[in-house]
């Protein structure tokens, strides 16, 4: 069964909330979320940092978009599709499962929970349009965390 660690920007793009994103990019985000819902296991940290971030940017009430539906179905309605892993922290607040070179590279602190989770789950991270993943790609992938760039690796092509 496929494993999914999904950065929050993916459901945001799927919702169409990020104005100017190309239709191709949005479609890739939609297809990924539908596959995750129907065929996979979505990984979250057991402390709830990722779920809280999803909650902050996604709104499953009213007429939800695909990203909102992802949040609603996976997080609220289908707990059997969610795998929660403990991500203990070091005394300095960094995740024990996040390789030190990634921290030393200055990788965005708000994205480190996704990288730490992917490292612990031994899977990759799905990203749509967050350039932080692209900028630190070499160090992240060198430390065993593959990044799946749903919208490609040329930010000029992410937007129409």
What is the side-by-side order of every strand in the sheet holding 125-127? 82-85, 41-45, 3-6, 125-127, 147-149
pLDDT one-digit tens code per residue, 87-144: 999 999 999 999 999 999 999 999 999 999 999 999 999 999 999 999 999 999 999 9
User: What's the confidence (pLDDT) of residue 130?
Assistant: 96
Mean pLDDT of 33-52: 94
92: left (phi over 0), alpha (psi -120 to 50) or beta: alpha
Q: 5 vs 40, 42, 116, 124, CA distance in Å?
A: 11, 6, 10, 7
**Does the pLDDT value for residue 73 go beyond 70?**
yes
């Amino acid at each position: 069964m496929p494993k999914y660690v999904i950065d929050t920007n993916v459901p945001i793009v799927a919702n169409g909330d990020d104005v100017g994103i190309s239709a191709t990019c949005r479609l890739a985000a939609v297809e990924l979320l539908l596959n995750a819902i129907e065929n996979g296991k979505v990984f979250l940290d057991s402390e709830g940092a990722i779920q809280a971030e999803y909650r902050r940017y996604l709104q499953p009430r009213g007429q939800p978009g695909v990203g909102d539906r992802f949040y609603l179905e996976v997080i609220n309605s289908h707990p059997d599709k969610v795998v929660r892993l403990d991500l203990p922290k070091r005394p300095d607040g960094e995740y024990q499962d996040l390789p030190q070179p990634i921290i030393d590279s200055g990788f965005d602190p708000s994205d480190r929970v996704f990288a730490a989770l992917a490292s612990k789950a031994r899977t990759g991270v799905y990203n749509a349009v967050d350039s932080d993943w692209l900028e630190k790609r070499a160090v992240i992938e060198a430390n065993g965390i593959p990044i799946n760039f749903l919208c490609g690796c040329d930010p000029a092509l992410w937007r129409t």
